[in-house]
Structure 1
Amino acid sequence: MSEKGTSDYGVISDMHMNKLYGYLIDSSVLYLPFQQQLISNRGASCQLRNTMSELMYFLMRHAERGIVTDDEIIFNVWEKNQLSGTYSRLWQVMQNLKQKLDEVGVENELFIRVRGKGYYLMNDKITPLYTFDKSKSGKESSHVNFSRI
């Protein structure tokens, strides 16, 4: 990787290797994809099931692209994980995910269904959060800072 480039997470990185930590939703809920968890600033939290978290993480990584098709979602969330995905299963998991988001305080629609095409994530409602190592030695620091890029 060059001094600036794209990491495996699609995150702009510098030589200190910024790493995705999670996403801030509506400035009030933290989504931690690697812990499969939603945490609100009101103290509410919930654990997401594997497929539900994979779905949310996939849509967030592709938020800037616009509409993500049903077929892309089924392939990347289900089939790549050796699971059987269907349109009705996608719809059901999305409904359950919306319910979980509502439980932790995401009141507005985060995902919009585009009939016959797929889903659109309201990109202006999410902010990726990153960790970075400020050490110049190249060794990992035990001190982690968070930033919005």
Structure 2
Amino acid sequence: TALMAAIAERMASDGGAGLFPDYGHLRPGIGDTLQALRRHNHEDVLANPGEADLTSHVDFAALAAVVRAHGLDAHLSTQGDFLLGMGILERAGQLGADAGQAARDRISNAVERLAGPQAMGELFKVLAVMPRGISVRPFATAD
């Protein structure tokens, strides 16, 4: 929250906007936020020190509150909804229009991985920060 406060303070005084995607949750909740990943699998964070990647889920609601306290708008979304709103399906269709079946399958798999509900589309969240009253795609109003 301290880092987001510094970023929001700078945006409020100097202008600008920001887009912050990461693992996380849109609403505060109970559960483990610190996780260990080793060889693409979850494991106990203390099981193999130095051999696993540690990650933590971002509390996007807390970051949005910090942003709003600095007079900025904060828009929250899942990565899937964000990418769908930005036109990922239309872009994938354009890329695959003149491609062979193998290329279309790769494009389809990539879209599913990035935006699908069983993949990064729900796991990743997006926080968009911008000056108050600005309406941009895919966010119509502040959440």
Shorter-chain TM-score range: under 0.3
> Which structure's CA Rg is the greater one?
2
- Normalization by structure 1: what TM-score? 0.25
Larger RCO of the pair (alpha carbons < 8 Å, separation 6+):
2
Structure with more of its chain in helix, by fraction: 2
- Normalization by structure 2: what TM-score? 0.26
